[in-house]
Amino acid sequence: MLRRAAWLAGIAVALIVAVFGYLVGTALVAPVTSANVPASCTGAESLLPAGHAVQVPGVGVGTLLATDGATSVVVVGAGGHVPRGGTAYIVGDSGEHATRGIPLASDAVVATIGGGLVFLFDDKIGYVLRASDGEPLHYLFESDNYRGLYTSGGARYLQLTAEITAVGLDGQVFSRRDLAFAGIADGCYFPAPRT
């Protein structure tokens, strides 16, 4: 009886490892969409595109990166520079207060909202937060294919799509494919690509 239980447990573990191996492997080789980051923003690119200026209560005006109608991600700059030194705020549907502020340390930030979760990257540092209250998800394992701001062939690019797989401490598994982010890099705004 004990031998059979150990055998079944071994099969279960092998199956879980195989599924996660598949999810991680496909994320690593999945194609991504990136935008060329110009040396300076002129013309179509701007810090506050029309319709994206949003007031964060008690903080100031920022740039709307993502919204699902109930929750928004707004980036407020500091010292005339965005995003470095600024803060990304999760603002609830009432718009009366920000539920969470995340200080930004890099020159690139992207965000999207889907399935009740906020996905935010401060360059290569990723955050997965509950959209309802801005609380971070705590996970045992997380894998993504997000590279952030990178250089290729002498040009700089901001990655605007990604795949993320995670296992929460509560045992919940989620895998999001084809996440499309809007972002800001070196003060230039990039809309989310159509996936």
Contact 20, 142 (CB under 8 A): no
Q: Given strand 98-103, what is the order of strands in its sheet?
A: 53-56, 60-67, 72-76, 87-91, 98-103
* pTM for this model (two decimals): 0.82
pLDDT in tens, 74-128: 999 876 666 778 899 999 876 677 888 999 999 899 999 998 999 999 999 999 9
Burial class (CB in 10 A: 0-12, 13-18, 19+), 37: buried
pLDDT in tens, 157-195: 999 999 998 888 887 778 888 899 999 998 889 999 986
